Amino acid sequence: NAGVTQTPKFQVLKTGQSMTLQCAQDMNHNSMYWYRQDPGMGLRLIYYSASEGTTDKGEVPNGYNVSRLNKREFSLRLESAAPSQTSVYFCASSWGAQETQYFGPGTRLLVL
Amino acid sequence: AQSVSQHNHHVILSEAASLELGCNYSYGGTVNLFWYVQYPGQHLQLLLKYFSGDPLVKGIKGFEAEFIKSKFSFNLRKPSVQWSDTAEYFCAVKPNQAGTALIFGKGTTLSVSS
């Protein structure tokens, strides 16, 4: 039981490049989330998917898109990376919107 | 807008000292409450949670938290900290309302010296 997995672990991009962060969970959870963590800011929700087939914006969605590919997988795409998107990105999942969220190991992204 | 406040940005303690980290939230309705811990270089792990019932909840590694509804608070405590408790601690609140998300505080860094 791997829990929540994320790829890649670390990525360096140049401004304007695009990339997709992958997240998968094997706990049969319905809800999945993408957060970014910045020093002194805590975790801020980018997008979430309450159930397969639905996605909603969180607190800081600008510059990102998401795809809930199936129940297991939830990807985050940066179409044109900017230095302000340098951050650590965490994926999480939960049974339902009210339940405990379980976090992946994170992706550290540096945009030059 | 709902918010979560963690009053201490950085706490420095010696081993065996007692710990209390404050957390207050702004939401008048029913909430689910969480404390997560992030050890250096690792991902967030659940320390404890409160959904209903006894307002004093016990978590892993000797941590406990008390929900005081009248004060909108969910403070984290540990009677005697260890060096291995050095980490960042996040309080999070989930309003029991459709369409709302889990809201995190900005975190408290705990440094424990041996």
The residue ranges of DSSP E strands in B23-72, in sequence order, are 24-26, 31-38, 45-50, 56-58, 64-68
* Cα separations in angstroms, B34 against B31, B76, B79, B88: 10, 10, 19, 14
CB contact under 8 A, A97 and B98: yes
Strands B3-5 and B103-104: unpaired
Substitution target in B25, B37, B43 with the highest count of A β-carbons within 10 Å is B43
- How many residue pairs bridge chain A and chain B with CB atoms within 8 Å of each other? 44
Q: Which residues of A touch B105 (CB under 8 A)?
A: 42
Q: For chain A, which residues lie within 8 Å of any Cβ of chain B, measuring from their own Cβ?
A: 33, 35, 40-45, 48, 56, 58-59, 90, 92, 97-98, 100-106
* Confidence band for A109, pLDDT divided at 50, 70 and 90: very high
| Averaged pLDDT of chain A | 94
Q: What is the pLDDT of residue B99?
A: 72
Rounded CA-CA distance A64/A46 in Å is 8
Residues 6+ apart with CB under 8 A from B53: none
Q: Which residues of B touch A100 (CB under 8 A)?
A: 34, 46, 49
Q: Does residue B89 carry a pLDDT above 80?
A: yes
Mean pLDDT of the region B41-69: 94
Q: What is the pLDDT of residue A56?
A: 93
Give the length of chain B.
Answer: 114
Q: What is the pLDDT of residue A23?
A: 97
For A19-29, the pLDDT digits (tens) are: 999 999 999 99
Q: Which residues of B touch A33 (CB under 8 A)?
A: 101-102
Q: What is the pLDDT of residue B2?
A: 78
Percentage of chain B lying above the pLDDT 90 cut: 81
Structure tokens at B55: 């307002």
Q: What is the pLDDT of residue A42?
A: 87
| Averaged pLDDT of chain B | 93
What are the two backbone dihedrals, phi and then psi, of residue A10, each rounded to the nearest 5 degrees?
-150, 140
Pick A48's closest partner by Cβ from B43, B101, B105.
B101
Other CB atoms closer than 10 Å to residue B111's CB: what's the count? 12
Cα-based torsion angle of the residue sequence B65, B67, B73, B75 in order, rounded to the nearest 10 degrees: -10
Residue type, B74: F
